[in-house]
Structure 1
Amino acid sequence: MILKGFKEKSNRKYLNKLLLNRDVNVTDTKIKSLGVIIHLQEVDDFELFRGLAKNLNIHSNQIKVIAFSSDKKNSNISWDICFCEKDFGWKGELKNLELQAFVDTKFDALISYYTKDEIELKLMTAKSKALFKIGIFQTDMRLNDLIIKTHINEFDVFKKELFKYLTILNKIKNEQ
């Protein structure tokens, strides 16, 4: 129990270090690949994001969705990747190779669609090498480049606002 507290403090310290040293370099490149991080207890429909990708003219093979589960029983659901707190070590170390591959992928955009204040979700967002990070309103504004303030259950509003802002930022590629 005490070690768990030390581990969480270690991970929070590592997260703050990541966010302080974050290089924000937003370009006008079009979004061709998309990564999505969700909390399984908040959203359990991955198809919402496949529809969003289609709306943004992103091919279905260019989207990767991962879900965090605070309930260890849900961690073997057979969607893309489901992870839990046991997949993290001290100082934000990832023990899961699939998670490491996800954060190492240079997605054109990353959507962090969660509101729960879970250190593991924040670490995944902060460690991601995505070029443009998008999220809904969270307690730490340093995580994302674009924040759309909606409730977690208002996905249609999020989708509409995201399309509007990405169009303004010239990030949506034309259909071919």
Structure 2
Amino acid sequence: MLKKIKKHSLKKHTEKKLTDRDISQRNTPLKYLGFLVDEVFFDDFELLYEFGNELGLQRKDVKLFTFVETRRKIPSLRQNQITNKEFNWRGEIHNQNAQEFLDFPFDVLIGFYKGKHEFLSAMVAQSKAKFKIGFNDADERLFDLLLTVDLQKPEAFKSEVKKYLKILKKI
């Protein structure tokens, strides 16, 4: 029952954030790149940092935040990680690192997950990123650009994102 309330609240929270979004800075060139990643689906984070380097960014200008359903018992030094337990029943995030990530004005934010994902979608909606890229059946209201790419094939993902960033004159 509490899970249903939480998911309903996440949807309402997402809807509200969508109406409040400022799109006036959408066309700024790429200086800061952010990734929101579902760890169940993808865990080669070094590849994402290398991709930022290929786009002409330094490692410090590429930020990564991941979602995992539940934390493992093994201690981890990873601070840029959030679980479903850190969302309260009203859909609010109780993770200081996540809040800082979402408040950072990325020039491009890439939602690196497949389909509809309540928790990551809520984070994308809350993000202050200027331009948002999503993939494969994601909620089109959240993103400025949706690409149909097999995310398990990194080269295809990289070439598609590069192509559109060039077309949009972000790089």
**TM-score, length-scaled by structure 2:** 0.91
What CA distance in whole angstroms lies between the structure 2 residues aligned with 1:74 and 1:124? Answer: 25
Long gaps (5+) in structure 2: none
* SS in structure 2 of the partner of residue 139 of structure 1: coil
Q: Are the structure 2 counterparts of residues 76 and 8 from structure 1 closer, same or farther at C-alpha, using a change threshold of 3 Å?
A: farther
* Separation in structure 1 between the aligned mates of residue 18 and residue 63 of structure 2, nearest angstrom: 23
1:124 aligns with 2:123: yes
Greater per-residue helix proportion: 1
What residue identity is the alignment partner of 1:49?
Answer: L
Q: Which runs of 5+ in 1 are unaligned?
A: none
2:101 equivalent to 1:102: yes
Residue 157 of structure 1 deviates from its aligned partner by 0.6
**Pairwise CA distance, 1:55:** 0.9
Cα deviation for residue 58 of structure 1 reads 1.0
Partner of 1:18: 17
| Kept after mapping to 1: 8 A contact 2:70/2:85 | no
CA distance in 2, matches of 1:99, 1:74: 21
Q: Could you say which residue in structure 1 is the equivalent of 2:110?
A: 111
- Pairing 1:59-98 to 2, within 5 Å after superposition: 59-73=58-72, 77-79=76-78, 81-98=80-97
Closer, same or farther in 2 for the Cα pair 1:136/1:80, shift >3 Å?
farther
Letter matched to residue 164 of structure 1? K
Cα-Cα RMSD: 1.8
- Aligned pairs for 1:16-55 (under 5 A) are 16-25=15-24, 27-55=26-54
Q: More displaced, 152-161 or 36-45?
A: 152-161
Change (3 A) 1:36 1:139: closer
SS in 2 for 1:142: coil
Match of 1:158 in 2: 157
Identity rate, percent:
35
Q: Give the counterpart letter for 1:33 in structure 2.
A: Y
Count of residue pairs brought into register by the alignment: 171
